[in-house]
Structure 1
Amino acid sequence: MITVDLHPIFRNNRDIELALRQALFRAAATGEPVLELIPGKGSGKLKARVIAFLGQPHVKRLYDRFEVDPENGGRILVHLRASA
């Protein structure tokens, strides 16, 4: 599982988007079944930013679904499409 901790870059929108994009494409290219994103709990703004990124049509094509970890609200699991 590839894990991306967004805590160190939470103030820079460009770095956040770049980290998310790189991790998602790397996970899809290597056949990883799940990508773990850690925006943390905090105020919820970073988690909302990550969810908005995942909602973009060109990004949605890369995964089946995502879920906020029910046991840890500061963790998002992205379930990627299986390679054909």
Structure 2
Amino acid sequence: MAKIKIDLHDCFNNGRKIDQALLGAMQDACKKRVKLVEIIHGRGSGQLKKRVLRFLEQPDIKALYHRVEKDTKNPGRLFVHFRH
């Protein structure tokens, strides 16, 4: 199964880069009809995870994907599932 993987460790303190990386991954998944996007936000204080979840809750973004799954084995990543 093909998936897109993005690591937000490099741009954790730059809000614009975070949004661009997330939007780019979502658009790529839709364009290439990929079923899974793995977002690695890291453990830390949880602020980056909250920002990612807020981004995914935007109505125009939420319309693109099917569901979000929090990884039970690794709290530092999320899976976004698509139904194409």
In structure 2, C-alpha distance between the alignment counterparts of 1:35 and 1:54, rounded to whole Å: 12
Question: Which runs of 5 or more structure 1 residues have no equivalent in the other structure?
Answer: none
Runs of 4+ in structure 1 over 4 Å off: none
Identical aligned residues as a percent: 46
The letter for the 1-side match of 2:41 is P
User: Which position in structure 2 is the counterpart of 1:13?
Assistant: 15
TM-score, with normalisation over the residues of structure 2? 0.95
**Superposed displacement of residue 67, structure 1:** 1.1
From 34, 37, 48, the counterpart of 1:35: 37
User: Which position in structure 2 is the counterpart of 1:66?
Assistant: 68
User: Which position in structure 1 is the counterpart of 2:26?
Assistant: 24
Tell me if the contact between 1:3 and 1:36 (Cα under 8 Å) persists in the aligned partners: yes
TM-score, with normalisation over the residues of structure 1? 0.95
Q: Output the aligned Cα RMSD.
A: 0.5
Q: How many residue pairs align between the two structures? A: 82
